[in-house]
Amino acid sequence: MLWRIDNSCVLMNLAHAASAGGPNAYCSEFVGQTFPNLRALPNRNMNQTESHSASQDHSSRASSKSVAHAPPAQSAEQGRSTRPRHLVFEQPDCRQATVAVVVPTYNEASNLEELVDSLFSLPLPNLRLVVVDDNSPDGTGELAEKRARRYNQARSPISVIHRPGRSGLGTAYVAGFQRALADGADFIVQMDADFSHSPSYIMQMLGVICATGMDVVIGSRYVPGGTLDENWSWWRSLLSKWANIYCRSVLKIRVRDMTAGFKLWQRDALREIQLESIRSNGYIFQVEMAYLSEKLGFHIIELPIHFEDRRVGQSKMDVAVKLESVWRVWELLWRHRKRVAGNTESLARRQPAVGSERHAAHR
């Protein structure tokens, strides 16, 4: 199930919620008023009568309780989603939630200090940072330890995972996610260390996920309102857009920014995705996570962002890595075929719990 926020008014009000001290009550009220029927998109095979009936059923349930509880998850061997695929507007105290930010690093010493300070300037008292460093020659790992000692005097908001060498982006994120989950994070952010992803968007993303109950919020370059740095070459921009179109076509999914590395996850979504099953170890990792999220029936929303070029240093994303991703798409399609097929059949047999009387502006 996929939504896209592409209305500047929404972004303006989410920004106001963040500047007002947090994304909780204001954002919940605003999104509830702006999208009164915001809910899972109906199954493509679901007719309008079923949709309307499901919507009425959801409304009656939502009025009787404010929090939806997920049933016990099935075993990992069954490999299919069991969480209810409907939304009930919850209003948790998001500013008090534990938010972990996972940042893989390799030669990011020139960016790390400013990034750490920017993150801990956010109005999130329970913010944590997990740095996964691949033995950077420029001393990024040692610098991360110094910042940890500074911030960890009163509490322990920074964890540093040291790996012996460059082991790949995918395994770095998996290691960071696992540490964040083990430490009890309620929400997990993944982002780059080079300020391509502005920390200022985290409050907006958190506001959206708390107001709507989404499983995943994607900071997207390729929905209306999303932009790329003007310093990007036409070749780099063309290659990035072609890669997204190619991946969507092969995998038959609707997420527009398949290669986005800026996401906010609910902890249960990461647990359900079964991180131990993730094998991609380059930038195809982003594609694999997006693919599984949609095929497992997660509620996904794409939030437009401005993607900046890195401020200092060189990109790790070369042409060889991008070309490798071309055939890796087919590999992950084959590797997850049984799990995806089983979950698709389960969702098709299940009566959709929620419908919508409104047509989504973008699907």
Q: Domains in the chain, ordered, with CATH?
A: 2-69+76-349 (3.90.550.10)
pLDDT tens for the chain, 363 residues long, are 666 554 433 443 443 443 344 444 434 444 444 444 343 333 333 333 333 333 344 333 333 322 222 233 333 333 334 444 333 334 456 778 999 999 999 999 999 999 999 999 999 999 999 999 999 999 999 999 999 998 887 677 999 999 999 988 999 999 999 999 999 999 999 999 999 999 999 999 999 999 888 999 999 999 999 998 888 888 888 888 888 999 999 999 999 999 999 999 999 999 999 999 998 887 899 999 999 999 999 999 999 999 987 665 555 555 566 666 677 899 988 999 888 887 765 555 443 333 322 223 333
**Spatial CB neighbours of 70, under 8 Å, sequence gap ≥ 6:** 82, 83, 84, 268
Phi and psi at residue 34, in whole multiples of 5°? -75, -35
Q: How far is CA 342 from CA 25, 78, 297, 345, 346, in A?
A: 38, 9, 12, 5, 6
CB 89 within 8 A of CB 62: yes
Please choose, from the candidates 285, 267, 251, 273, the residue with its C-alpha nearest in 3D space to the C-alpha of residue 80. 273
Determine the distance from the C-alpha atom of residue 60 to the mean position of all C-alpha atoms in its chain, rounded to a whole number.
30
272-280 contacts, C-beta under 8 A, 24 or more apart: 272/73, 272/81, 272/83, 272/296, 274/76, 274/79, 275/174, 275/177, 275/178, 277/336, 277/339, 278/170, 278/174, 279/170, 279/332, 279/335, 280/170, 280/328, 280/332
How far is the C-alpha of 288 from the C-alpha of 279, rounded, in Å?
Answer: 9
Would you state the structure tokens that stand for residue 247, as one six-digit string? 């991946």
How far is the C-alpha of 126 from the C-alpha of 358, rounded, in Å?
Answer: 37
How far is the C-alpha of 247 from the C-alpha of 306, rounded, in Å?
Answer: 22
Q: Given this model, what pLDDT does residue 235 score?
A: 82
Please report, in angstroms and rounded to a whole number, the separation of the first and last CA atoms in the chain.
9
**Spatial CB neighbours of 111, under 8 Å, sequence gap ≥ 6:** 193, 194, 195, 310, 311, 312, 313
Q: Given this model, what pLDDT does residue 96 score?
A: 84
Q: Given this model, what pLDDT does residue 94 score?
A: 77
Q: Given this model, what pLDDT does residue 30 score?
A: 42
Q: Checking DSSP bridges between strand 263-266 and strand 216-220, what pairing results, if any? A: antiparallel
Q: Given this model, what pLDDT does residue 295 score?
A: 94
Cross-strand partners of 162: 133
Please choose, from the candidates 54, 231, 259, the residue with its C-alpha nearest in 3D space to the C-alpha of residue 169. 259
